[in-house]
Structure 1
Amino acid sequence: MTQTIEDLFDASIERYKAGEGPDTLIPVFKDICERARKSSPAWTCLAWLYLLDNKPTQAYNAAQKAVKLNPQDPQAQVNLAIAMLETSKKGVRDHIELAQQIMMVAKELEDEVKQNLEEGLSRKPDWKSLQRVQQWLFEA
């Protein structure tokens, strides 16, 4: 029985939630992104995994694709902002403001982003860029 891209994506998300690390999940999400090039959620996940794995340039490239495919995804915007901070790129504020605007209208997305940031800090406690973004988004 062959696994669909959606099944593979869902199974990989579950593996991540179970505590599996970026070292084993990055190749899986790279494959998903290759097979489903227009899947913003897959690119968003790949960017997040690269960020967790201290690969900000790859994270930036993946996050750019995710934002291009779905500019209304606040997590994609947040990932791009974090990657920009970590690669010293300009324009971070635009992505923070857009994420804030989207979350104002979609409260469930705000909760999801909050949970993701907290989860990121649980995996990488001294993540300065994430802490800055979290502060800008939720303590402003």
Structure 2
Amino acid sequence: MTETVESLFDKGLERYKAGEAASELIPVFKEVCDRAPKSSAAWTCLAWLYLLENKYNLAYKAALKATKLNPQDPQARVNLAIAMLETKQKGLRQHVELAQQLIFVNSEWEEEIKKSIEDGFSRKPDWQSLTKVKKWIFEES
């Protein structure tokens, strides 16, 4: 019997929170995205995993898809901004500003983004692009 997409997603998230390596989870989230291509949450997670694995072009594509599916997702915007920075693309300011606006109106989202950033640094301590995006989001507001 095949696992449901929701179950696969939830188990992947649990494995990530338990500290499993991003490289091990990329295939799980790729499968979720293949089976549920309109799931912005799955694309957002996949983008984050790609960022952790230094697969910036793939991260950019996944984050772009996530923001198109859900333009109001601050994590997708943060992922896209980091991927754009890593791939030296222009136009990331609008994504940073939108993420700022979104977390300004929703304190839960702000907490989620802060936790995500902490998690990013715990898995990739000297992540320069994450440092810049964090500074832009939280120190320019």
Instruction: Name the residue aligned to 1:67.
Output: 67
Instruction: Name the residue aligned to 2:125.
Output: 125
Instruction: Name the residue aligned to 1:88.
Output: 88
Query: Could you tell me which amino acid in structure 1 is paired with residue 88 of structure 2?
Result: S
Distance in 2 (CA, whole Å) between partners of 1:61 and 1:23 is 17
Distance in 1 (CA, whole Å) between partners of 2:125 and 2:18 is 18
Q: What secondary structure sits across from 1:3 in the alignment?
A: coil
Distance in 1 (CA, whole Å) between partners of 2:74 and 2:23 is 25
State the Cα deviation string for residues 1-43 of structure 1 (Å, max 9, x = none). 4321011101100000000011110011001000000000000
Matches within 5 A, 1:1-140: 1-140=1-140
Q: What secondary structure sits across from 2:3 in the alignment?
A: coil
Task: Please give the TM-score of this superposition, normalised by the length of structure 1.
Answer: 0.98
Query: Could you tell me which amino acid in structure 1 is paired with residue 34 of structure 2?
Result: E
Distance in 2 (CA, whole Å) between partners of 1:59 and 1:18 is 22
Distance in 2 (CA, whole Å) between partners of 1:79 and 1:2 is 30
Corresponding pairs, count: 140
Task: Please give the TM-score of this superposition, normalised by the length of structure 2.
Answer: 0.97
List alignment gaps of at least 5 residues for structure 2: none
Identity, % of aligned pairs?
66
Distance in 2 (CA, whole Å) between partners of 1:2 and 1:37 is 17
Deviation of 1:123 after TM superposition, in Å, equals: 0.4
List alignment gaps of at least 5 residues for structure 1: none
Deviation of 1:91 after TM superposition, in Å, equals: 0.5
Runs of 4+ in 1 over 6 A off after TM superposition: none
